[in-house]
Amino acid sequence: MPATHHLTTPLSKDDIRKLRIGDLAFISGTVYAARDAAHKRMIEALDRGDPLPFDPRGQIVYYVGPTPAKPGKPIGSAGPTTSGRMDAYTPRLLQLGLAGMIGKGNRSRAVMDAIRDNVCVYFAATGGAAALISRCIKSYVVLAWPELGPEALAAMEVENFPVTVVADCYGGDQYEEGAKPYRRV
Amino acid sequence: MREISAELIRDTVARLAVEACCRLPESTLNAMRRARERELSPTGRDVLGQLIRNADIAAAENAPICQDTGLAVVFAEIGQDVHITGGLFEDAVNQGVARGYTEGYLRKSSVEEPLFERKNTGDNTPAVIHTRLVAGDRIRLRLAPKGAGSENKGALHMLVPADGLEGVKKAVLETVRHAGASPCPPMVVGVGIGGNMELACLCAKKACARDVESRNPDPRYARLEDELLELVNGLGTGPAGLGGSVTAFKVNVEFCATHIACLPVAVNINCNAARHAEAVL
Ligand code: SF4
């Protein structure tokens, strides 16, 4: 039976070691919203020797490009986007101390290895559950590159954001293991 | 000749865009409920529960079901006896999309050119418009927004007649297997068989925009829909790809005439946010 965890960011290595694929987790605290364009800019900043707009140590990046916020709301609908597009950038961030990511879908071998080697974690949020997830997001503050619109780098305060552990620091892959008991073809 | 104004077309498209993005069709919602009863994996049932709650919240708040409100795909059937007044049909559709996506707080995900600048057009135009001339004096508009997570996992297989039914099944199964969790399962799989390259793809798109409760009127193809669903659900991908017995709600098949030496099979995958809205003018 999968375990349930309540996690608050930043995550410690001890927090991460308790997580196993298939476990449910409810995340609270700050998570950083970034997708394709913001990742490209982060890596360009590192290549120039500049610091990142936030200290990645122990933090979680959420791959999301929300719909526009309606008046009076911090954010619009905000479900996960496909993580694989960020694969090229992810190992470098994990080496700098990033604790993990929230997204959806398979990762490359290089990312899976970096998750294991750096004691990190990859969570899946439910793709398509964007209005539900939006209710867990209490604030949304753009930190850098506002010209990227919904792709800007932002800090979000979240409360009990429901996710599933899909890659743990022991090399486990829920997308591979989860299907096995139900596979007939 | 019956006159229909471009203005009415524009206003209708704007309304359909918001309705499609914020209100999951009752049939898709029912498919989710049935899937939750049938799903063997506890994690899968939890995911389906989240999706059902999500659809309820979206409907209550008039909020987008999913943040990827997609490209606006419009199927238009225009009666031959209609005269459109006050503007061009395609302009009216695009104006409607621009208005619906802007006033409805939907995401603008269209870039004007694919390779160099990829600059966002800012209003989600242009729509992808498929027009057919039909008998009568009415216009039927069906708007089916389509996100990238599922669209990127479609495929075209140019089979030959000798590949036959088994070849078709294999092509569908491999496409869905390869898609994994990216198209946000449970999905609706659209399969287009026959025609030529572009017609097979169009059939597949029509199939995946079809209602989950619809069946192909030809009993042989209706049976194929059932068989393909059984196969796809044997992959074990499950809700959100986390493992489970419901990978697809439905497989819809459309077919058309083809060349004596061709057997094209196109697969277009729709995600759990299988959205569409329709109006007849
Ligand atoms: S595949 Fe569908 S449900 Fe998933 S993120 Fe894209 S539009 Fe949303």
Whether B239 shows a pLDDT value over 80: the answer reads yes
Interface probe for B, chosen from A20, A40, A62, A126 (most Cβ of B below 10 Å), is A126
pLDDT tier, B281 (very low <50, low <70, confident <90, very high otherwise): very high
- Residue A26 maps to a domain: no
- Residue A183 in tokens: 């596979």
Whether B166 shows a pLDDT value over 90: the answer reads yes
Instruction: Show which residues of A are catalytic.
Output: 39
Query: DSSP strand E in B19-69: where?
Result: none
Cβ distance A127 to B271 less than 8 Å, yes or no, reads yes
What is the chain A residue with the closest CA to B273?
A: A128
CA dihedral B266, B222, B246, B202 (to 10 degrees): 20
Instruction: Please state, in angstroms and as integers, the Cα–Cα distance from residue B256 to each residue in B140, B146, B206, B271, following that order.
Output: 21, 23, 12, 24
- Residue A29 maps to a domain: no
Model pLDDT for residues B45-73, shown as the tens digit of each residue: 999 999 999 999 999 999 999 999 999 99
- Domain chopping of chain B, boundaries: 2-20+65-146, 149-274
CA A61 to CA B108: how far, in whole Å?
A: 23
- C-alpha B120 to ligand 1 mean position (Å): 19
pLDDT tier, B132 (very low <50, low <70, confident <90, very high otherwise): very high
- Residue A40 maps to a domain: yes
Q: For this complex, say whether ipTM is above 0.90.
A: yes
- C-alpha B63 to ligand 1 mean position (Å): 15
What is the predicted pLDDT for the residue at B205?
A: 96
- Residue A47 maps to a domain: yes
What is the predicted pLDDT for the residue at B41?
A: 96
What is the predicted pLDDT for the residue at A149?
A: 81
Domain count, chain A: 1
Interface probe for B, chosen from A182, A184, A185 (most Cβ of B below 10 Å), is A182
What is the predicted pLDDT for the residue at B118?
A: 87
pLDDT tier, B25 (very low <50, low <70, confident <90, very high otherwise): very high
Query: What percentage of chain B exceeds 90 in pLDDT?
Result: 98
What is the predicted pLDDT for the residue at A151?
A: 87
Range of the domain at A113: 34-172
Model pLDDT for residues B247-274, shown as the tens digit of each residue: 999 999 999 999 999 999 999 999 999 9
Of A81, A82, A132, the CB nearest to B53: A132
What phi, psi does A41 have (nearest 5°)? -70, -35
What is the predicted pLDDT for the residue at B56?
A: 97
Give average pLDDT by consecutive 10-residue segment, chain A, 185 residues: 93 97 97 95 95 96 95 95 96 97 96 98 96 96 90 95 97 96 93
Atom of ligand 1 nearest to the CA of B68: 7
Query: DSSP strand E in A15-171: where?
Result: 24-33, 60-62, 100-103, 121-124, 137-144, 153-167
Segment B129-156 mean pLDDT: 97
- Residue A84 maps to a domain: yes
Q: What is the CATH number of the domain that holds A61?
A: 3.20.130.10
